[in-house]
Amino acid sequence: MKKYIVLIFTSALFLTACNHNPEKTYWDYMGDFDMYYSKAYESYSPNKYLKDGTTLQEPVQGTVSREFIPYPFKDKFGDKVKAGKLLKNPFQPTKENLERGKMKYNIYCAVCHGQNGKGNGPLTKLKRNGKKIYPVPPADLTSDFIKQKPDGEIYHVITMGSAVMGAHASQIKPDDRWKIVLYIKNGLK
């Protein structure tokens, strides 16, 4: 008999659960005491519980975000040569990788180096009061000087910049930097 009572009771519980009507307000088990009604702060709202008074906090010092690999070389000439010796391009010049490299090159590099890589992109022609705004000519990426460079050196230049050329580490992910290198080494084809 007891067994039947338990069975009826549990099936009744299940049936009521199935019958839940989201439009209707039911009884709260713990009501306001629990976290039924979350009083979450908006990311950009003030917050009296945190030291600097804002909800959104800076990451803890030394935090490395997922998929980010810290770059071990510095922005100096000796390190470019070192990067050239130690870093290997992890990608092969497949059609797909070259296309990806071309797409990224045309977005980030062609403004200065030109779509053909000759160093004659639109920014090099800009003038103000008769003077060139970017007077230093970008390297000709089709030259033998660039062709004989190890992949790692070009990767280093994209990551750290080179003299007047700015660093592109924050705009271009490591994989895409390597694919740009493949595209350049393949004669921008």
Q: Where do contacts with ligand HEC occur on this chain (CB under 6 A)?
A: 108-109, 111-113, 123, 136, 138-139, 146, 153-154, 157-158, 162-165, 168, 180
Least Cβ distance, residue 119 to ligand HEC (angstroms): 8
Provide CB contacts within 8 A for 81, sequence distance 6+: 153
Instruction: Judge residue 5's burial from the number of C-beta atoms within 10 Å of its C-beta, 0-12 exposed, 13-18 middle, 19 or more buried.
Output: exposed
* Beta carbon nearer to ligand HEC, 33 or 77: 77
Tokens of 8: 């009826």
Q: Which is nearer to ligand HEC, 98 or 158 (CB)?
A: 158
* Pair 41, 49: CB distance under 8 Å: no
Residues 6+ apart with CB under 8 A from 56: 43, 44
**Tokens describing residue 74:** 């510095």
For the CB of residue 65, give the shortest distance to ligand HEC in the complex, in Å. 21
Q: Shortest approach of ligand HEC to residue 151 CB, angstroms? A: 10
- Shortest separation between residue 135's beta carbon and ligand HEC, angstroms: 9
CB of 129 to ligand HEC, least distance (A): 20
Structure tokens at 175: 């994989």
Shortest Cβ 139–ligand HEC spacing (Å): 4
Distance separating alpha carbons of residues 165 and 167, to the nearest angstrom: 7
Name which of 54 and 165 has its Cβ closer to ligand HEC: 165
Kindly tell me which of 11 and 186 has the beta carbon lying closer to ligand HEC.
186
The total of other beta-carbon atoms located within 10 Å of residue 83's CB is 23
The set of residues, in sequence order, having a beta carbon less than 8 Å from that of 150 and lying 6+ positions away, is: 84, 85
For ligand HEC, the closer CB: 10 or 186: 186
Residue number with CB closer to ligand HEC (47 or 120): 120
